[in-house]
Amino acid sequence: MITKFVLYGFVECFETQLLWITSHILLAWLDEYPNEVEIFIVMFVVPVFMNCLQLILVDNFIQNQFVLETNSKLNREHMQHVDDEQLERDLEREFERLVKSHSAERTYSSVDN
């Protein structure tokens, strides 16, 4: 809805310039054809083309948003997995250190007795 208001304001502000550009640049090649061809192009071909263009652009925008969200979610899951693996390695090292220190204490205590 906002885009319609923006386009309406744009057309109102630049009406004469847009009419000149349309008639002298965009549709000048249709002057050699009958008026029916120009009407067909303006009333059918251009709207179909513009709707297809809008559909493609919006679809690409939505797909890019989906891809970005999916990538960020996968990245978060990967980082969580990496963090879990790092935590597991740290715990294993700590366990090995404790086992070694405990076995060293037992060795020293058996030597003392």
How many whole angstroms separate alpha carbon 72 and alpha carbon 66?
Answer: 10
Tell me the pTM. Answer: 0.46
CA-CA distance, 95 to 87, in Å (whole number)?
12
| 103/71 Cα distance (integer angstroms) | 47
Residues 8-12: contacts with CB under 8 Å, at least 24 apart: none
Spatial distance between the Cα atoms of 92 and 26, rounded to a whole number of angstroms: 72
**Averaged over 1-11, what is the pLDDT?**
91
User: Which residue in 89, 8, 74 sits closest to 97, CA to CA?
Assistant: 89
Q: What is the tens place of the pLDDT at every residue in 28-77? A: 898 899 989 989 999 999 999 999 999 998 888 777 777 677 777 767 76
- As a whole number of angstroms, the distance between CA 51 and CA 49 comes to 6
CA dist 65 and 61 (Å) reads 6
